[in-house]
Structures are given as C-alpha cells and as structure tokens.
Amino acid sequence: MNTADLLTDAFGRIREEVHQAVDNLSREDLAFRAAPDANSIAWLVWHLTRVQDDHVAAAAGMEQVWTAKGWADRFGLPFDQRETGYGHNTSQVTDVQTDAELLADYYDAVHEQTLRYVATLTDEDLDRVVDTSWDPPVTARQRHRRRPGARRDGHVRARDREQPVAAAGSRSRGLTRVGRQPAQHDPRTVPPPVREGGTVACRGMGRSRSGEKA
C-alpha cells in the first residue's frame, strides 16, 4: 500500500463515520445539545468538514469547496465564509442549524476533492512545507495525519516564538497562540456515552437514536 492508498482508506473511514452520524436524524436531533455548553452533532460534523476542506485546499493550492461550489450560500450561516468553527463560543454553536442531507452532501463534495488531491501524492510530497507561520514549519505529512480540528502538535506561531505561552488547557504540549484561549467546544473532549433509559446520551455531541447500544 502506498501513501495515496493509505490516505484514501483513512479519509474513506471518516466519510463512513460522518454518514452514520447524521443519517435519518431530523434538524432537531442534529441541533440537540445535551448540556448548555455541549456541541451539537450538526456543529461537530460541519466543523470537521470545514477543517478538512480548509486544510486540503491550502495544501493543494486550490479554492475550498465551501466557496468554490456554493456551499457557503446553501448553508446560509451567519459567519464569515472563512470560518471553520475553531474557537466558536456557545452562541455560534447554536447558530449551526441545518439538515442531515446538506451536511452529508457537503462532506461528500469535500471528500471527492480530497481524494483527487491525495491521488497525486508521493512520499516525497509529504515532506513539503505547507505552512511557515508555525515553528517548526508544518509539512504536508503533519497536516494530513492530524485529526480534523486538532492543533498542530508541538508547533507555535513563528511570530510568537519569543513570547510566553499559556500551558494550562493547551493541547499542544504547552504551546498555544498568545492571547487566544483554547476553544471552548472541541470534539475531542466528548466523554464516553452514558445510558439514560433507552437512549444513549453523548454529553458532548448530542443524542443517538433510542434503543441503540452504547
């Protein structure tokens, strides 16, 4: 299996998870928040897709599907078109209101562009520096292996190199951007699901369909 095959398989698994997460859910289900500061399924899937779209487009030197194919207009969210959800507060999480078909279709469009780019990659391509604004610079290999929405592990903005950084709550080995608090809503902070009656409640995401096994 070469690099392109490995990445194609990995992104294919993400697509499967996205469809399983949203299929047959109503707008109300997607917008449900198990706690006032919890993320909704709609926001989590939108955020995941926006980050993948943003990162792949930057690495490939192409326009994001979000703007190039009119998805920003179809969603009609009250954000700047450059928004990916990073650092969103609870009010902005609530603003992501959409339906399952639109979420899945947008992810599929991003997935197709991702695979077209991945098919062109070689091992040598992955060592190419794609972002010099971090110290050390970020390579294509590091960007592709990151979970969507995660920070660049062990990296700090080059312009902040000599500045003190906040370690508390940081997910980058004590390195974070100066003057910016960690995002309140992070899909990786979701606790394990707990059973409440016949429904599995995922406090950080939303709820699953009644009767599903944890």
Domain range summary for the chain, segments of one domain joined by +: 3-123
Q: What is the pLDDT of residues 118-168, one digit of tens each?
A: 999 887 777 777 778 778 877 766 665 554 444 444 444 444 443 333 333
85 confidence band (pLDDT: 50, 70, 90): very high
Question: Quick check: 4 pLDDT over 70?
Answer: yes
Q: What is the 3-state secondary structure (H, E, C) of 133-191?
A: CEECCEEHHHHHHCCCCCCCCCCEEHHHCCCCCCCCCCCCCCCCCCCCCCCCCCHHHCC
pLDDT at site 119: 92
Most confident of the ranges 2-16, 76-90, 196-210:
76-90
**pLDDT, averaged across the chain:** 76
Looking at the DSSP assignment, which residues form a beta bridge with residue 131?
Answer: 138
Mean pLDDT of 4-20: 95
Mean pLDDT of 77-87: 97
Mean pLDDT of 169-180: 37
206 confidence band (pLDDT: 50, 70, 90): very low
pLDDT at site 152: 41
pLDDT at site 97: 97
Q: What is the pLDDT of residues 24-38, one digit of tens each?
A: 999 999 999 999 999
pLDDT at site 140: 67
The closest alpha carbon to 85, from 35, 126, 128, 50, belongs to 50
Q: What is the pLDDT of residues 93-127, one digit of tens each?
A: 999 999 999 999 999 999 999 999 999 988 777 77
In this structure, what token pair is assigned to residue 151? 């920070």
Of 84 and 149, the one with more pLDDT = 84
DSSP codes, 44-110: HHHHHHHHHHHHHHHHHT---HHHHTSHHHHHT-SS-TT--STT--HHHHHH----HHHHHHHHHHH
Q: Does domain 3-123 have CATH number 1.20.120.450?
A: yes
C-alpha 43/C-alpha 82 separation (Å) is 16
In this structure, what token pair is assigned to residue 183? 């995002």
C-alpha 190/C-alpha 48 separation (Å) is 14
184, 37 contact by CB (below 8 A): yes
Question: Quick check: 205 pLDDT over 60?
Answer: no
CA-to-CA dists, residue 22 to 15, 62, 163, 193, 201, angstroms: 11, 28, 42, 17, 15
CA-to-CA dists, residue 150 to 20, 78, 153, 155, angstroms: 22, 24, 8, 12
Question: Quick check: 92 pLDDT over 50?
Answer: yes
Q: Letter for the amino acid at 56?
A: V
Mention every residue, 6+ apart, whose C-beta is less than 8 A from residue 129: 137, 138, 139
